[in-house]
Amino acid sequence: MESKRNTEQKKTILNALMCADHPTASELFEVIRRENPRLSRATVFRVLGQFADDGVVRRLHFLGSDTRFDARTVPHAHCHCIKCGRVTDVFDGDFTPLLALNEVGDFTVLSTEIEFNGICADCSRATGDN
């Protein structure tokens, strides 16, 4: 299914996604709901799915987390904190060659994910030296 009509809901969802930080569909729904209680959870899932299929946004899958969405289309890697769940973008140029790969052996690459799982600076600090 492809997005064909430009509705208020789609604008609202894309806007919210651009302001949010790699949210899950449900997290985004909760944010939107405050300003826009009419918009349904099913629509958030449906529209995010369309956007992802259309290449407007990116779907992200992390260990122990629901599917997250990212409005950044520029290739980049992600750090995913397994303590607080926060996801941060990494634009390090060292990863560019890998992210630009079009094939690996005889496999045709359409998209590449580089994902670092670990502990973010805030959580290391909070945990201390143990």
Partner DNA sequence: TTGTTTGCAAATCATTTGCAGTAAC
Partner DNA sequence: GTTACTGCAAATGATTTGCAAACAA
Residues lying near a second copy in the complex (CB under 8 A): 59, 61-63, 77, 79, 81-82, 88, 90, 92, 94-95, 98, 101, 104-121, 124
To the nearest whole angstrom, how small is the minimum distance from the Cβ of residue 129 to a second copy? 12
State the minimum distance, in angstroms, from the CB of residue 8 to a second copy.
Answer: 28
Q: Which of 64, 47, 61 is nearest to 11 (CA)?
A: 47
Instruction: Pick one of a second copy, DNA, none as the site partner of residue 56 (Cβ within 5 to 8 A by kind).
Output: none
Q: Is 77 in the site for DNA (CB under 7 A)?
A: no
Residue 8 or 21 having the CB closest to DNA: 8
Query: Least Å distance between CB 23 and a second copy?
Result: 17
Q: Position 57: which residue type?
A: V
Question: Least distance in Å: CB of 11 to DNA?
Answer: 9
Alpha helices in 20-57 (DSSP H): 25-35, 41-54
* Tokens describing residue 121: 């600076």
Sign of CA dihedral 34, 35, 41, 44: negative
CB 32 within 8 A of CB 16: yes
CA dist 84 and 104 (Å) reads 34
Q: Among the candidate windows 2-10, 90-98, 103-111, 112-120, which touches DNA by CB under 7 A?
A: 2-10
Single-letter code of the amino acid located at 81 = C
Q: How far apart are the first and last CA of the chain?
A: 50
Q: Which residues bind DNA (CB under 7 A)?
A: 1, 3-10, 24-26, 38-43, 45-47, 49, 66-67
